[in-house]
Copies of this chain bind each other. A is one copy, B any other.
Amino acid sequence: MGLGYQASGLDDSMSDERRGRPLDAQRNKVIHSSTLSLMGEYGYDALSVERVAKLAGVSKATIYRRYPNKMELVLASLDHNLYGLPMPDSGTGLGDLMQMAHMIRTYGLNNETRCMFGTMMTARVRHPELAKAVHERIVVPRRQRARSVLERAVKRGELPAETPLELVMDMVFGAMLVRLARGEAVSESLAEHLVKTVWFGMGGR
Contact = CB atoms under 8 A, between A and B. Distances in A.
A126 B118 CA distance: 13
B41 A125 contact: yes
A111 B192 CA distance: 32
Nearest to A179: B170
Interface stretch (A21-29, A81-89, A90-98, A195-203): A195-203
A171 interface: yes
A139 interface: yes
Interface residues of A, number: 46
What is the oligomeric copy number?
A: 2
Contacts of A194: 167, 171
Interface of A: 41-43, 45-46, 111, 114-115, 117-126, 131, 135, 139, 164, 167, 170-171, 173-183, 190, 193-194, 196-202
Contacts of A118: 117-123
Given A139-B182, A167-B190, 14 more contacts: A41-B125, A41-B126, A43-B45, A45-B46, A111-B125, A117-B121, A118-B120, A135-B182, A164-B190, A170-B179, A171-B194, A174-B175, A177-B177, A197-B202
